[in-house]
Amino acid sequence: MEPKHVTFVQTLYDAKPKVTRFQPGFVADLRSFILVKTRPGMEKQILDRFKALPEVREIYLITGKFDLLVGIESEETELDPRQKVAEIVVEKVRKAGGIEDTSTIIPIDSHYRATPTPSDRPVIKSFVFVQSETGKERPLMNKILEIPEALATHLLFGKSDILVELEVEKSFVNPPPQRVAVIVDRIGKFSEVKDTQTFVPLESVVK
């Protein structure tokens, strides 16, 4: 029987991730992200290059400083998962050329909604980077997960403290960018939030 994959509360450097739903035959997927700036006009070519990699689960074409946001999942429970991500970026992608810059995002902690709200309509993902008041990051992660469209919150190193994964329905009446803007406005009103940066993909590839 093929193993079933589950997500969980992922803790960096924890040799035994905090999993409460493990059963025989289940495999944990460690999740991380890469922001990629390509050479002008090479966005689709680099997107296809990532699409061919088995570790890559999602690729999003975005606008701004970076051109792509790549989601990676690995079954390996290495003590330092940065090694796996570095191998993908340096050995499998960068050496082929066409990439000007990358930023690797490996969460310290990742919290996932246990039962995402099902939808019969097509959906689109968006990503929100959040700056939090110092010491308020984890309570804020849990508060954001109470929003129905929030699928996951990731605690980060660096300028941004939290990465939020949102999922909204596609609709002509209420287009995703407008819907996402409403949700981000709600997040921005939490007292713990200092600033936000939002990415609504122009195109997405989900394996």
Q: Which of 75-84, 115-124, 125-134, 186-195 has the lowest mean pLDDT?
A: 75-84
Last residue of a domain, one of 105, 134, 153: 105
Which residues neighbour 172 within 8 Å (Cβ) at sequence distance 6 or greater? none
Whether residues 88 and 118 share a domain: the answer is: no
Provide the CATH number for the domain around residue 71. 3.30.70.920
Q: What value does the mean pLDDT of the chain take?
A: 82
- Name the pairing type of β-strands 26-28 and 4-6: parallel
Of the candidates 197, 158, 159, the residue with the CA atom closest to the CA atom of residue 181: 197
Look-up: residue for tokens 């689109």? 124
**Domain of 75?**
4-105
Tell me how many domains the chain contains: 2
Whether residues 130 and 199 share a domain: the answer is: yes
Whether residues 119 and 201 share a domain: the answer is: yes
Whether residues 69 and 99 share a domain: the answer is: yes
Global pTM reads 0.81
Q: Which of 28-32, 88-92, 146-150, 182-186 has the lowest mean pLDDT?
A: 28-32
Whether residues 18 and 90 share a domain: the answer is: yes
Whether residues 93 and 148 share a domain: the answer is: no
Last residue of a domain, one of 83, 105, 127: 105
Whether residues 94 and 165 share a domain: the answer is: no
> Helix or strand or coil: residue 179?
helix
Whether residues 122 and 99 share a domain: the answer is: no
Whether residues 125 and 72 share a domain: the answer is: no
pLDDT in tens, 48-85: 999 999 889 999 999 999 999 999 887 655 456 667 77
Helix/strand/coil (H/E/C) assignment for every residue in 130-189: EEECCCCHHHHHHHHCCCCCEEEEEECCCCCCEEEEEEEECCCCCCHHHHHHHHHHHHHC
Work out the burial of residue 163: count CB atoms within 10 Å of its CB; fewer than 13 is exposed, 13-18 middle, 19 or more buried. Answer: buried
Confidence label for 28 from pLDDT (cuts 50, 70 and 90): very low
Whether residues 90 and 22 share a domain: the answer is: yes
Whether residues 84 and 124 share a domain: the answer is: no
Q: What is the pLDDT of residue 93?
A: 78
Q: Is the pLDDT of residue 25 over 60?
A: no
The dihedral formed by the CA atoms of 26, 32, 38 and 42, expressed in degrees to the nearest 10: 10
Whether residues 87 and 118 share a domain: the answer is: no
